[in-house]
Amino acid sequence: MNTASHRDVRDVFDQLFQADQERPAIRKAGIEALQRLVPVAQRNTGQSAVIGRFLLGLYNGQAYRFDLTELRRLDVGLFDDCLAVLRLDNSPEQEVHEYLPRGEAIWADFRERWA
């Protein structure tokens, strides 16, 4: 292996190690954001609809398509929370609804309300 290839492999391992080290903070921030987003999605506002469809898209993107430009309708804090949940779901340990108690029932309500 030449020096450039050795460096490339080392860079990949360094990135994986860093991602592994960041995972607890990403998980914590994502779950906290999810806990803030769910009550908003359970209301009946324009932002509720966006968040509800966003969460359904993470749950099952094939069945519940989500237009990313809809995120432009959100307040900055809600937008940031969506990004935190998206980061959480980037390397999922479980399905997004499983991070919450009664998650399946909550998402069933979202399907009726926002699908």
pLDDT number for residue 7: 63
Instruction: Look at the alpha carbons of 91, 93, 95, 99 in this order and tell me if their dihedral is positive or negative.
Output: negative
Could you tell me if 40 and 78 are in contact, meaning their C-beta atoms sit under 8 angstroms apart? Answer: yes
pLDDT band at 3 (very low <50, low <70, confident <90, very high): low
The pTM (predicted TM-score) of the whole model is: 0.81
Could you report the per-residue pLDDT of 87-107, keeping only the tens digit for each?
999 988 899 999 999 999 999
Q: What is the pLDDT of residue 21?
A: 75
Residue 103 in tokens? 């998650």
Q: Among candidates 69, 42, 73, 72, which has minimal Cα distance to 55?
A: 42
Q: What is the pLDDT of residues 34-70, one digit of tens each?
A: 999 999 999 999 999 999 999 999 999 999 999 999 9
pLDDT for 91: 83
Model confidence at 115: pLDDT above 80 = yes
Token pair 């959100």: residue: 74
Per-residue H/E/C for 67-90: CHHHHHHCCHHHHHHHHHHHHHHH
What is the spatial distance between Cα 41 and Cα 51, in angstroms, rounded to a whole number?
5
